[in-house]
Amino acid sequence: MSTPPKLTPQARAAALEKAKVSRQERAFIKASLKAGDVFLSDVLDMAQKNEAVGKMRVADLLSSLSGVGKVRAQSIMEKIGISPTRRIQGLGVHQLLALRKEFSIPTFRGKLFVLSGPGGVGKSTVAKELRKNSDFWVSISATTREPRANEIEGIDYKFLSNEEFDREIAEDNFLEWAAFAGSRYGSPRRPVETALASGRNVLLEIEIAGARQVKQHAPEAILVFLEPPSWEELVGRLEGRATDSPERRAQRLLLAQEELAAASFFDVVITNDQVSKVVDRLLSLA
Ligand code: ADP
Ligand code: 5GP
């Protein structure tokens, strides 16, 4: 076998530099996928023109998607028939189509709505009203938080232990999940998929990190941000609710400031000055 040609020191340095830039580019893409700033379809498009992106392993690409992880990435690849070491540039037309289909969730017929906003703005009040007065299917989340005095298991939340929540994550049973104010919250995947597939419009009442994950998996989801009429009104609602300890309320107000800053990421912003008006607006988007 002939030996490969010896590189000059300059050519070797240039090759090393090129490899370093490619690695940085791939790391940037993975971070952007995790943050929800780019979607799988964007990366597949980029891979056609950019060699560094084309050389990314499909397993790395999928497991970088927020909420996917190695186990689900592997099972999707098995389902589509993509070998574990395949790079994006080596994917066939059918495999590319199958991947795009997997992550655009096109079989959903109902519309997927996400309602987010700062704690105390009135999200659960609006969700309850919508459940009562429309045929929206409102998802019941799982949480590791302790139930409040007025909350009922299976109606307000499915209250899980940390171990139970870990198991749900390991079994890939959440469409999205996030940590918030010291507890974890997640939307059970199967009931949402079933409701959407049966043509129901679905509402997820979740915090902002979860909303970003949903947008990444289902770009067609309509992200609605509920804002308070004023900061003073928000403080008043949080205090008026009287379901949290003073420490927890203070923690939630701090978080609320960060949450308000996220409004621009959402498709629609609705001011909750009157619950019935918010419900009408949501129905008009359905
Ligand atoms: P979130 O689910 O966003 O944390 P809640 O639905 O628990 O908020 O509402 C917080 C408090 O604000 C509750 O006491 C609720 O009754 C009250 N509230 C909700 N919407 C309105 C509104 N439009 N006007 C006045 N009070 C409201
Ligand atoms: P609370 O403890 O006040 O009921 O909820 C705290 C925050 O968690 C709220 O912003 C609520 O919207 C959010 N939340 C509730 N369920 C879920 C869920 O399934 N996923 C995510 N990401 N957030 C949730």
Residues 90 and 154 in one domain: no
Look at the chain and report how many structural domains it folds into.
Answer: 2
pLDDT in tens, 141-187: 999 999 998 899 999 999 999 999 999 999 888 999 999 989 999 99
> Residue 70 maps to which CATH number?
1.10.8.50
Confidence at residue 15, expressed as pLDDT on a 0 to 100 scale = 82
Contact 192 CB / ligand 2 (< 6 Å): no
Residues 135 and 264 in one domain: yes
Full residue range of the structural domain in which residue 90 is found: 9-102
Contact 186 CB / ligand 2 (< 6 Å): yes
Residues 156 and 246 in one domain: yes
**Do 175 and 168 meet the contact criterion of CB atoms below 8 Å apart?**
no
Q: What is the SS3 string spanning 238-266?
A: HHHHCCCCHHHHHHHHHHHHHHHCCHHHC
Confidence at residue 253, expressed as pLDDT on a 0 to 100 scale = 86
Contact 100 CB / ligand 1 (< 6 Å): no
Own/partner long-range contacts of 101-109 (Cβ < 8 Å, ≥24 apart): 102/76, 103/39, 103/40, 103/41, 103/65, 103/217, 104/41, 104/218, 104/219, 104/220, 105/196, 105/217, 105/218, 105/220, 107/197, 108/193, 108/196, 108/197, 108/218, 108/220, 109/196, 109/197, 109/198, 109/199
Residues 194 and 220 in one domain: yes
Atom nearest to 157 CA in ligand 2: 16
Contact 119 CB / ligand 1 (< 6 Å): yes
Give the mean model confidence (pLDDT) for residues 248-260: 86
Residues 37 and 72 in one domain: yes
- Ligand 1 pocket check: which of 114, 125, 248, 251 to mutate, most ligand atoms within 8 Å of Cβ? 125
> Residue 260 maps to which CATH number?
3.40.50.300
Residues 70 and 120 in one domain: no
Nearest to 103 by CA among 217, 196, 189: 217
Q: What is the largest CA-CA distance in the chain?
A: 80
Residues 197 and 281 in one domain: yes
Confidence at residue 271, expressed as pLDDT on a 0 to 100 scale = 97
Residues 121 and 232 in one domain: yes
- pLDDT-derived band of residue 1, with 50, 70 and 90 as boundaries? low
Residues 14 and 61 in one domain: yes
Instruction: Decide if 107 is inside a domain.
Output: no
| β-sheet with 137-138: strand ranges across | 137-138, 202-205, 112-116, 222-227, 268-271
Residues 28 and 154 in one domain: no
Contact 189 CB / ligand 2 (< 6 Å): no
Instruction: Decide if 170 is inside a domain.
Output: yes
